[in-house]
Amino acid sequence: MIDLSQVNQSLTHYLSFRYFIDAEYQSDGGMVHISDESGQIIASDLVVLSGQFSHWKGALVPLPQAALGNRIYIEFQFLSDFLEASSGGLYVDDIGIELAPER
Ligand SMILES: [Ca+2]
C-alpha cells in the first residue's frame, strides 16, 4: 500500500518503474491498475505494455487525480493467450512515485 493521503494534490504525481517485456505484440501484455485501500478501482489499464524489447525501459505515467489523497494499491497484471506462450513475459523493478519538477 502506498500512502498518498498527505501529498499536495495540486501537483501532478507520476508512477515510475522500469520494465523488461518479451510478449507477443498486442495479444499478450501487461497492464497497471490502481485501486484504493478498500479495493475500489481508481484506474484500470493506466498503462498497457506489450511487445518485445532487448533492453529494460523506463516508464513515467501520470497518476489520476483520484489517486491523490488516498492510500492506494498498484497492481501489475500480465495476461497471455495460449498462442506463442513461450515468451519471457514481464519483469518490473524500481517502482516509485515521483513528483515532476514544476514547469
Ligand atoms: Ca500469446
Residues 13-45 pLDDT 10s: 999 999 999 999 989 999 999 999 999 999 999
Q: Which amino acid is at 38?
A: S
- Does pTM surpass 0.85? yes
Q: Which amino acid is at 57?
A: K
* 2-99, CATH topology level: Jelly Rolls (2.60.120)
Please identify which residue in the block is written with the cell numbers 501529498: 7
How many angstroms separate the alpha carbon of residue 16 from the centre of ligand 1? 26
How many angstroms separate the alpha carbon of residue 52 from the centre of ligand 1? 12
Give the residue extent of every domain in the chain: 2-99
Where are the strands (E) in 1-103, listed by range? Answer: 2-3, 13-22, 29-36, 41-49, 57-62, 71-79, 89-99
How many angstroms separate the alpha carbon of residue 80 from the centre of ligand 1? 5
Residues 70-93 pLDDT 10s: 999 999 999 999 887 788 999 999
**Quick one: pLDDT at residue 103?**
54
**Cα 81 to the chain's mean position, in Å?**
21
